[in-house]
Structure 1
Amino acid sequence: MKNDTIIKNNKNFNEVFLKNSKYQKTINSPIKIKGIGVHNNNQVSISISPLYDKKGRYFRNNTGEFDFEIQNKKAKIFYKNLFHTINKDYNTPLYSFHELESFFLISNKGFKKDLNHYKNEIYKRNFNIFYNYDYDVKSRIPDTKQYINAQIENVLSKPIHYVSLEDKKNEIKGIEHLLSAFEAMSIDNVMVELNGDNEVPILDGSSMVWINEILNVGVNINQKDFSGENTIKKRRRKIKFFSDKSFSLYHNESFISYHPSKFSKITVGLDYSDSAPLIGKQWYSYDIFNDNHYRWEISPSRMYIPTIQDLYESMDSGYYKAGVEDCVNLCMFDKWYNNDQIRFYDTESARHEILDLIGCLGLLSNNGNGGIPLGHIISYKPTLELNIRFVKILKEMIVI
Structure 2
Amino acid sequence: MILRQALARRKSPAFARNLTISKSPISWQQDERPQQTIASAVERSGVGLHSGVSATVRLIPARAGEGRYFVKAGDEVKIPASIDHVEESVLCTTLRRGSAKVSTVEHLMSALEGSGIDNVPILDGSSREWVEAIEEAGICSAKDDSGDEISRFSAVVHEPLYVWKNDSFVAAFPHPKTRVTCGIDFSQVSAIGCQWFSCFPTIQHTYSQEIAPSRTFCIFEEVDGLRNAGLIQGGSVDNAIVCSISSGWINPPLRFPDEPCRHKILDLVGDLSLLAENGNQGLPVAHLVAYKAGHALHARFASMLRDIMVKLKGEV
Give the structure 1 partner of residue 235 of structure 2. Answer: 323
CA–CA distance in structure 2, aligned partners of residues 245 and 328 of structure 1 = 37
Kindly indicate whether residue 297 of structure 2 is the aligned counterpart of residue 383 of structure 1: no
CA–CA distance in structure 2, aligned partners of residues 259 and 359 of structure 1 = 19
Give the structure 1 partner of residue 181 of structure 2. Answer: 267
CA–CA distance in structure 1, aligned partners of residues 191 and 61 of structure 2 = 42
**TM-aligned CA deviation for residue 325 of structure 1:** 2.1
CA–CA distance in structure 1, aligned partners of residues 208 and 33 of structure 2 = 18
- Tell me the secondary structure at the aligned position of residue 244 of structure 2: coil
CA–CA distance in structure 2, aligned partners of residues 291 and 365 of structure 1 = 17
For residues 176-235 of structure 1, the C-alpha deviation after alignment (integer angstroms, 9 at most, x for no partner) is 0000011011111111111xxxxx4xxxxx100000011011111113433xxxxxx543
Give the structure 1 partner of residue 78 of structure 2. Answer: 147
The 8 Å contact of residues 28 and 220 in structure 1, kept in 2 or not, is answered as yes
Choose from 121, 141, 151 the match for 1:237: 151
- Tell me the secondary structure at the aligned position of residue 339 of structure 1: coil
Choose from 58, 76, 100 the match for 2:69: 58
CA–CA distance in structure 2, aligned partners of residues 242 and 236 of structure 1 = 19
- Tell me the secondary structure at the aligned position of residue 397 of structure 1: helix
The 8 Å contact of residues 163 and 171 in structure 2, kept in 1 or not, is answered as yes
The 8 Å contact of residues 243 and 397 in structure 1, kept in 2 or not, is answered as no
Distance 1:323 1:330, change over 3 A: same
- Tell me the secondary structure at the aligned position of residue 356 of structure 1: helix
The 8 Å contact of residues 21 and 186 in structure 1, kept in 2 or not, is answered as no
Distance 1:56 1:289, change over 3 A: closer
**TM-aligned CA deviation for residue 169 of structure 1:** 3.6
**TM-aligned CA deviation for residue 33 of structure 1:** 1.8
Kindly indicate whether residue 231 of structure 2 is the aligned counterpart of residue 348 of structure 1: no
Higher strand share: 2
The 8 Å contact of residues 243 and 394 in structure 1, kept in 2 or not, is answered as no
Question: AA paired with 1:330?
Answer: V
Distance 1:63 1:41, change over 3 A: farther
Give the structure 1 partner of residue 130 of structure 2. Answer: 210
The 8 Å contact of residues 115 and 131 in structure 2, kept in 1 or not, is answered as yes
CA–CA distance in structure 2, aligned partners of residues 271 and 169 of structure 1 = 37
The 8 Å contact of residues 165 and 171 in structure 1, kept in 2 or not, is answered as yes
Structure 2 gaps of 5+ residues are 1-30
**TM-aligned CA deviation for residue 290 of structure 1:** 5.3
**TM-aligned CA deviation for residue 43 of structure 1:** 0.9
Choose from 110, 119, 126 the match for 1:189: 119
For residues 206-265 of structure 1, the C-alpha deviation after alignment (integer angstroms, 9 at most, x for no partner) is 100000011011111113433xxxxxx543220121233312222122111111221111
CA–CA distance in structure 1, aligned partners of residues 32 and 195 of structure 2 = 30
Distance 1:42 1:294, change over 3 A: same
Give the structure 2 partner of residue 258 of structure 1. Answer: 172
- Tell me the secondary structure at the aligned position of residue 390 of structure 1: helix
Question: AA paired with 1:220?
Answer: C
Choose from 129, 135, 139 the match for 1:219: 139
Question: AA paired with 1:223?
Answer: K
CA–CA distance in structure 2, aligned partners of residues 253 and 238 of structure 1 = 36
TM-score, normalised to structure 1, is 0.67
Percent identity, please.
Answer: 30
Give the structure 1 partner of residue 160 of structure 2. Answer: 246
Give the structure 2 partner of residue 38 of structure 1. Answer: 49
Distance 1:61 1:248, change over 3 A: same
Counting only pairs closer than 5 Å after superposition, residues 357-372 of structure 1 correspond to structure 2 as: 357-372=268-283
Question: AA paired with 2:306?
Answer: K
For residues 320-371 of structure 1, the C-alpha deviation after alignment (integer angstroms, 9 at most, x for no partner) is 112322111111124211013x2102x1111100000000111011100120
**TM-aligned CA deviation for residue 21 of structure 1:** 6.7
CA–CA distance in structure 2, aligned partners of residues 63 and 42 of structure 1 = 17
CA–CA distance in structure 2, aligned partners of residues 396 and 26 of structure 1 = 27
**TM-aligned CA deviation for residue 63 of structure 1:** 4.7
CA–CA distance in structure 1, aligned partners of residues 199 and 148 of structure 2 = 32
Kindly indicate whether residue 108 of structure 2 is the aligned counterpart of residue 178 of structure 1: yes
**TM-aligned CA deviation for residue 55 of structure 1:** 0.5
Rg comparison, structure with higher value: 1
CA–CA distance in structure 2, aligned partners of residues 209 and 292 of structure 1 = 15
CA–CA distance in structure 1, aligned partners of residues 115 and 138 of structure 2 = 10
For residues 100-150 of structure 1, the C-alpha deviation after alignment (integer angstroms, 9 at most, x for no partner) is xxxxxxxxxxxxxxxxxxxxxxxxxxxxxxxxxxxxxxxxxxxxx621111
CA–CA distance in structure 2, aligned partners of residues 191 and 318 of structure 1 = 29
